[in-house]
A and B are shown apart, each in its own frame.
Chain A
Amino acid sequence: MDIVKSSLRRIDAAIRTIKNLKDSEFPYSHSEKALLEVERIFKETHRALFKARDSTDQTLKKDTCEEALKRLFIYIPLLGFILRSTNVRNAFEIHGPLLRLSQSLLGNDAKLVLSSEWDYSPMTYPGVPQMKSFILIGFPATESSNPFLIPLAGHELGHNLWLKHGMESRVKVIVTQLIQDEIQKNRWDKFKDLYKIKELEQSKFWGDLFNKEIIGPATVWATLQAEETFCDLVGLRIFGSSFLHAFVYLLSPGQRSRHVAYPSSNRRITNLLDAARKWKLKVPAEYRNVFQQDDQGRFIEKDNFQLDLAEFAVAKLVPHLRATANQLVTAAKLKSTDPKAVQEIRERIGLTVPAENAKSLASILEAGWDANLDETLWRDFDHLDVDSKYENLMEIVLKSIEALEIQSRTKG
């Protein structure tokens, strides 16, 4: 059985598929460029397999085939993502404004692909090897033409900012220090007891590799939770209160179970509300109460101990993550929400017409959300069908975004 031969055939099949996909009609060039990047990566994998074929080292052959298989796992879903970016269910109107915003944040070489996913979660693929200049954002297929979810793209852009500024390497050093100090100051007995630690001179304790390895999970979880926290704060800072509304719409009431890579819902809401107050944003009433309590721990005592440590470290970092999100978004000179502009757009929506001369995407979305939450909207317009009010509102918001894009293009 020649596994290299099978691996080569699998990669060939992927390359052939890409060749067929190239015939798709792409609504913007970045989808096509992403496809070409994936093709290049598979060709590189093909070359690696060729090298392995000639090797006499059977283990290395298997390892290379394993890596090639992993690449199929990574990039085949991306091909689906790219293909779905051409589907008319997507709101193509938002690509231009969101691209402009992305390039202000991440630099002019940033490329944006918006797509729809058959998974119920907005998501991004940041840092895909060799595709780091691509911002790949997907919305659930059922919501991919819903402009009210656009603010959640702010969270996804946060992941790309985190990557661009190499924040992981700095944060993991800080959380390591925080966790080590916390154990020595306040949790020593518990730590010693759980991990059967022999006494060692305190100053040398964390220089010992065995001790160091114990807190690996806590530092990894803290780093990942810090990233998610940062991304929430970036989304809030870019889109203001419409980010809070979109977050509730898509995720409330959440689920009781949680993943260690994410802060608990309660923690996320607390961080968002603290930042909203700090940045003087409007906070929806009863915001906190719509989410489930998901602070329950894990079932294994050591996991609980590590998770507590991770959460302790992230809590210490939140003010710094908030300041950094603010610093990076401010530096990008984005056109944020402007109360006067929001008011003007809101008045136009009240008249059932798209906004003209809107100053920013964020202002349109804030006005749109305000209208969406207004139970009295269009109540006196007898000619409007009540059942299609929501669809009509989405259409007006999308048209306003389209007008903003035309305005930007004609000016620029």
Chain B
Amino acid sequence: MKYNLLIEGQSESAMSVLDEDLSFLATQAALELDSLIEGKETELEAVSRLSSVMSSSFQSVQAEGHSLSLDPATATILNRAFIDSNFANNLETVDELIQKSLELAKELASQTHPSKRNGELARMKSFCMALARCSAAYRESILGHRSKHPYRK
């Protein structure tokens, strides 16, 4: 079989559980949502970036009908984050996970709407915090102390 490893338009924007920055991004998004809950004016830059990372990771998988090829590491941390934040704790299939992730990405993208209730915002914030923790813990459990510095190769 011939594999093309360079796909037009492929970028580094997809979610990578190997990237330490994912947990920082998720924490920043949680902070922004927290400010919204507190009724403070805030820019939602991290929320928007996280939403876009999640969308770009799953839209292509879903569009190509390749849900079975979703990488297990991404599936694992998202599922754990959904469970830990009580956002969704009964997902059984990869298709359900992708669907839920895309719904969440859409919800995150619409956070600027003032109509959002604090309960919904709190649920999203809780997911972002869980995502930060799960991605860091997963990396550590799979790679151990790979090197002294997370970006050192």
Q: Which of A12-20, A208-216, A278-286, A379-387 interfaces with chain B?
A: A208-216
B152 and A261 within 8 A (CB): no
Some 30 contacts from A to B, beta carbons below 8 A apart, are A55-B34, A55-B38, A74-B150, A123-B152, A125-B149, A125-B151, A127-B19, A129-B19, A129-B20, A156-B153, A159-B153, A166-B12, A166-B13, A168-B16, A169-B10, A169-B57, A176-B70, A208-B94, A209-B91, A212-B70, A212-B94, A214-B72, A216-B73, A216-B76, A216-B142, A217-B142, A220-B17, A224-B143, A317-B3, A320-B3
The residue that B24 contacts in the complex, of A129, A174, A175, with Cβ under 8 A, is A129
B125 and A126 within 8 A (CB): no
Cβ of A165 to closest chain B Cβ, rounded Å = 6
Asked if A164 is an interface residue, CB under 8 A from chain B, the answer is yes
* Residue of A70, A214, A321, A324 most packed against chain B (CB within 10 A): A70
Cβ of A81 to closest chain B Cβ, rounded Å = 10
B76 and A165 within 8 A (CB): no
Task: Assign chain A's interface to a size class.
Answer: 35 or more
* Residue of A54, A212, A215 most packed against chain B (CB within 10 A): A212
A63 and B10 within 8 A (CB): no
A76's nearest neighbour on chain B, judged by CB, is: B149
Q: Give residues of chain B (21-61) contacting chain A, Cβ–Cβ below 8 Å.
A: 21, 23-24, 27-28, 30-32, 34-35, 38, 40, 42, 57, 61
A residues engaging B (CB < 8 A)? 48, 51-52, 54-57, 59-60, 63-64, 66-67, 70-71, 73-74, 77, 119, 123-129, 132, 156, 159, 163-177, 180, 206-210, 212-217, 219-221, 223-224, 227-228, 231, 259-261, 317, 320-321, 324, 327-328
Interface residues of B, CB < 8 Å — how many? 64
Distance of A64 Cα from B111 Cα, bound (Å): 21
Distance of A260 Cα from B147 Cα, bound (Å): 12
* Residue of A52, A220, A320 most packed against chain B (CB within 10 A): A220
B3 and A125 within 8 A (CB): no
Asked if B63 is an interface residue, CB under 8 A from chain A, the answer is no
A219 and B71 within 8 A (CB): yes
Asked if B14 is an interface residue, CB under 8 A from chain A, the answer is yes
A77 and B10 within 8 A (CB): no
- Residues on A with C-beta less than 8 A from B143 are 220, 224, 260-261
Distance of A376 Cα from B10 Cα, bound (Å): 51
The residue that B12 contacts in the complex, of A77, A127, A173, A219, with Cβ under 8 A, is A127
* Residue of A166, A219, A231 most packed against chain B (CB within 10 A): A166
